[in-house]
Amino acid sequence: MGPSFNEQFEQHGAWRREFARQLKQLGEWMTTHELMDAAVQERLQRLEDQVRTDKVMVAFVAEFSRGKSELINAIFFADYGRRIMPASAGRTTMCPTELGYDAAVPPSLRLLPIETRLQVLSLAEWRLKPERWTDVPLDIHDAGQIAKAIEMVSQVRRVSVEDARAMGFWHDELPEENPSQDAQGLVEVPMWRHALINMPHPLLKQGLVILDTPGLNAVGAEPELTVNLIPQAHAVVFILGADTGVTRSDLAIWREHLATTQDSTEARLVVLNKIDTLWDTLNSPQQIQDQLDRQCQTSAEMLGVRLDQVVPVSAQKGLVAKIACDDVLLESSGLPALEQALAKGIMGRRQAILRAAIGTGIAGLRTETSRVLNIRRRDLDEQMLELRSLRGKNASVIASMRHRIEQEQQEFDRSATKIHAVRAVHLKLLRDVFQQLGTKALKEQLADLIGALQQKGLKLGVRKQYADTFKVLRSTLDMAQASATEIHAMLEGTFRQLNAEFGFSLQVPAVPQIEPFVLELEGIEQGHMQYLSVGNALKLVQPEFAERLGRALSMRLRAVFESAANDLELWSKSATAQLDAQLRERKRSFSRRIEAVDRIQQAASGLEERIAEIAEGEDALQRLDNRLQQLTGQLASLSEETVDSEHLDIFSPA
């Protein structure tokens, strides 16, 4: 059997640390040898941020009492020798809970009061207001204290029907989904809206984020969770009960929140939990296995996933087996098979994506830096030819050459005006694109849809408004692509002219492709259409719910447009950095040529000395180039050390 998820994740963490170390070494070397221009620095920074901040989010989703928190305990926290997440009978995790690690924040449990749902701010905005969260310190050396503190995510409170309605837990149009009222007419709701657990668990320190979600009613009440957090998780583990199979509420969660598109089901693992309930001494092992196989087959068919995406497990027996070091029970629990499926699917997929992106970044870095070295090499070659032509020449010829170099320098300085004019036009066009993709423009484009969501009563025209809005958003991205192509054509003509006039080797980088962002936009649109079904259309009657949905959509779209703008900015920097580098090197070249001629005029030996210096300079450049290839080659080989191809099987079509 291959490595477990925990082992695979630890290997991934070690890989990231080694990559960061080598990347830092490369940056220091480039700075020392004056090879760090704006574009190179930007690429290095992006690569560093990408590797350092890379997170792998695994979302665990289930209806109440499916053993979800117990499964998290079994996979991630068995080393504590006890349960960390509350997993007693009945309702346990009552609010969405994120487990991660931020070294800048002390180990703690932070809880956002449920009353914040009565205000318009989104979860993302509340994260920026730490003073509004209840902060409970965690003692990382005391497993009992951690477990007791985290029990707070199970807390509930009783509120009036009016408050429950405003918070999204009571729907007059959907009475079967409403919680029951007590003798005083009060209903039970979670005490907390969201929980953040920050602790230096080895896997969390390496970038794992675990999202533990409550049942259907709580999930559906928080649009930001279902349209932002869950869709952006790298994998979703959906838990069913082996004794119940796919119930009506399970199917509702799956259809409304998880299987929004065909592609989305590829990153899903279905866990058939509590298989120990089928372990019956009255049945033979073969009868038990046949019953389990039927349950897996039926679940796969009902959810529309492949059979190999359904994994039978007993989380409770797996946790007990790990703590008791009982290998036989552990194997029977099915937990090792699930951990391997997670390792193959999530880590294999994530590593492949991250390393492919890094490989592309390193190739760009090498191209940018090689170009600077080639500029220096060409200038040295020109100087060598120039100086060799002076051998045996008299003082008047040397003086004439000095005069000619000065004239070239003056002409070049006069051309700077033309270059600045081109840059001004380029930056103006780019600013226009950034305005198209900016927050203000996006807000204007969403205004009609937000207005439609906020109208009173049934949102009858909201489906058409969604379609019209996303059509406008796609056209905005199309215009950004067209503007980038226009800028590319303008720079290409200008660079061609400068190359002809001054012997530059300017080359415009390929136009960045906006298509991936268009596809992401389509995914968001499809994901949001779930809220326009009959059931959710009734929820949309509540203005608070509709407003939360609109804010969640705005936050998600803003992230997409900002990413598109960032790609365009990097492309622009790459183009202008070339120009800056060649201008800088040409100015240095003029200074070195005049200095060389002056030395030759002052001493007869100056000519040969300078020729020898240039030869040494060419050798030094070759050594720099060799070292560049070595350092970037080491980084590239790290990015190509992908896991075995079998690690991609679970979430790939058969």
Q: Are 449 and 554 found together in one domain?
A: yes
Give the whole-angstrom CA distance, residue 330 versus residue 317: 7
Residue 413: exposure state from Cβ atoms within 10 A (0-12, 13-18, ≥19): exposed
What is the side-by-side order of every strand in the sheet holding 97-100? Answer: 134-137, 108-113, 192-198, 97-100, 208-212, 56-61, 235-241, 268-273, 310-312
pLDDT category, 646, cuts 50, 70, 90? very low
Across residues 355-368, what is the average pLDDT?
Answer: 79
pLDDT at 171: 75
Q: Are 478 and 564 found together in one domain?
A: yes
- Which residues have C-beta within 8 Å of that of residue 193, sequence separation ≥ 6? 95, 112, 113, 114, 116, 117, 123, 126, 222
Q: CA-CA distances (angstroms) from residue 403 to 61, 275, 370, 594, 598?
A: 78, 91, 32, 9, 11
The reply to whether 480 falls in a domain is yes
Q: Are 96 and 211 found together in one domain?
A: yes
Across residues 619-624, what is the average pLDDT?
Answer: 90
Q: Which helix (H) or strand (E) holds 651?
A: none
Give the whole-angstrom CA distance, residue 10 versus residue 30: 31
Residue 1: exposure state from Cβ atoms within 10 A (0-12, 13-18, ≥19): exposed
Q: Are 415 and 320 found together in one domain?
A: no
Higher pLDDT, 519 or 360: 519
Give the whole-angstrom CA distance, residue 345 versus residue 339: 10
* Tens digits of residue pLDDT in 135-168: 999 998 899 999 999 999 989 999 998 888 888 7
Q: Provide the total of helices (H) and of strands (E) in the chain, helices listed first.
A: 23, 11
- Determine contact, residues 114/218, Cβ cutoff 8 Å: no
* Tens digits of residue pLDDT in 238-275: 999 998 889 988 888 888 777 655 555 667 889 999 99
The CB density around residue 17, as the number of other CB atoms within 10 Å, is 13
- In the DSSP assignment, the letter for residue 255 is I
β-strand pairing of 56-61 with 208-212: parallel
% of the chain beyond a pLDDT of 70: 90
CA 85 to chain centre: 27
CA 203 to chain centre: 18
pLDDT at 163: 87
* Tens digits of residue pLDDT in 445-500: 999 888 888 777 666 678 888 889 999 999 999 999 999 999 899 888 888 888 88
* Tens digits of residue pLDDT in 191-207: 999 999 999 888 788 78
pLDDT at 145: 94
Question: Among the listed ranges 238-247, 255-264, 304-313, 359-368, which one has the minimum average pLDDT value?
Answer: 255-264
pLDDT category, 323, cuts 50, 70, 90? very high
CA 409 to chain centre: 48
Q: What is the CATH number of the domain that holds 248?
A: 3.40.50.300
pLDDT at 605: 66
**Phi (first) and psi of residue 218, to 5 degrees:** -70, -40
Q: Tell me which of 313, 333, 353 is where a domain ends.
A: 333
pLDDT at 191: 92
Across residues 43-49, what is the average pLDDT?
Answer: 82
Q: Are 246 and 107 found together in one domain?
A: yes
The reply to whether 329 falls in a domain is yes
Give the whole-angstrom CA distance, residue 455 versus residue 20: 51
Give the whole-angstrom CA distance, residue 504 versus residue 507: 9
CA-based nearest residue to 475, from 521, 430, 510, 417? 521
- Determine contact, residues 314/299, Cβ cutoff 8 Å: no
Longest dimension (CA), the chain: 113
Per-residue pLDDT at 93 exceeds 60:
yes
Higher pLDDT, 418 or 573: 573
SS3 assignment, position 304? coil
Higher pLDDT, 25 or 90: 25
Q: In whole numbers, what is the pLDDT of the chain averaged over residues?
A: 83
Radius of gyration for the alpha carbons in the chain, expressed in angstroms and rounded: 31
Give the whole-angstrom CA distance, residue 198 versus residue 101: 5
Q: Are 85 and 195 found together in one domain?
A: yes
pTM across the whole model: 0.72
The reply to whether 199 falls in a domain is yes
Q: Tell me which of 287, 307, 333 is where a domain ends.
A: 333
Which tokens sit at 154? Answer: 């199970």
The reply to whether 596 falls in a domain is yes
Across residues 223-249, what is the average pLDDT?
Answer: 84
Across residues 538-556, what is the average pLDDT?
Answer: 78
The reply to whether 417 falls in a domain is yes
CA-based nearest residue to 634, from 14, 17, 19? 19
* Tens digits of residue pLDDT in 327-346: 999 999 999 988 888 877 76
Q: Are 464 and 578 found together in one domain?
A: yes
The reply to whether 240 falls in a domain is yes
**Phi (first) and psi of residue 187, to 5 degrees:** -125, 155
The reply to whether 3 falls in a domain is no
The CB density around residue 204, as the number of other CB atoms within 10 Å, is 20
Q: Are 304 and 404 found together in one domain?
A: no
Give the whole-angstrom CA distance, residue 205 versus residue 103: 8
Q: Are 413 and 304 found together in one domain?
A: no
CA-based nearest residue to 638, from 11, 28, 19, 47? 19
Per-residue pLDDT at 545 exceeds 70:
yes
Give the residue numbers spanning the domain of 134. Answer: 55-155+191-333
Top mean-pLDDT range of 273-282, 295-304, 520-529: 295-304
pLDDT at 217: 58
Q: Are 292 and 403 found together in one domain?
A: no
Q: What beta strand segments (E) does 17-77 contain?
A: 56-61
**Phi (first) and psi of residue 249, to 5 degrees:** -70, -35
pLDDT at 150: 92
Q: Are 203 and 79 found together in one domain?
A: yes
- Determine contact, residues 160/126, Cβ cutoff 8 Å: no
How would you label 301-331 residue by residue, b for 16+ Cβ within 10 Å and e otherwise? Answer: eebebeeebbbbbbbbbbbbbbbeeeeebbe
pLDDT category, 399, cuts 50, 70, 90? confident
Q: Tell me which of 333, 349, 379 is where a domain ends.
A: 333
SS3 assignment, position 504? coil
Across residues 512-530, what is the average pLDDT?
Answer: 84
% of the chain beyond a pLDDT of 90: 23
- Please tell me the total count of domains within the chain: 2
Give the whole-angstrom CA distance, residue 302 versus residue 90: 26
SS3 assignment, position 37? coil
The reply to whether 83 falls in a domain is yes
pLDDT category, 378, cuts 50, 70, 90? confident
Higher pLDDT, 112 or 380: 112
**Phi (first) and psi of residue 393, to 5 degrees:** -90, 155
Per-residue pLDDT at 593 exceeds 90:
no
pLDDT at 40: 79
Question: Among the listed ranges 256-270, 294-308, 367-381, 581-595, which one has the minimum average pLDDT value?
Answer: 256-270
Q: Are 461 and 590 found together in one domain?
A: yes
